Amino acid sequence: MIDSEVMVDTNTLAWRTMITREEKGLKQIDLVRLINEPPHNIGITVGAYSKIETGDTKTPKIETLIALSEILDVSLDYLLNNHRTTPPHTHAIIV
Give residue 18's region: left, alpha or beta (phi > 0; psi -120 to 50). alpha
How large is the average pLDDT for residues 36-65?
93
Mean pLDDT estimate for the chain: 84
pLDDT band at 92 (very low <50, low <70, confident <90, very high): very low
Cα dihedral 11, 37, 46, 82, rounded to 10, equals 0
Span 19-35, pLDDT tens digits = 999 999 999 999 999 99
Q: Can you give the pLDDT at residue 11? A: 87
Residue 6 to residue 58: CA distance in whole angstroms: 8
pLDDT of residue 71: 96
Nearest-5° Cα angle at 80, 84 to 62: 150
Inform me whether the pLDDT recorded for 88 exceeds 90. no
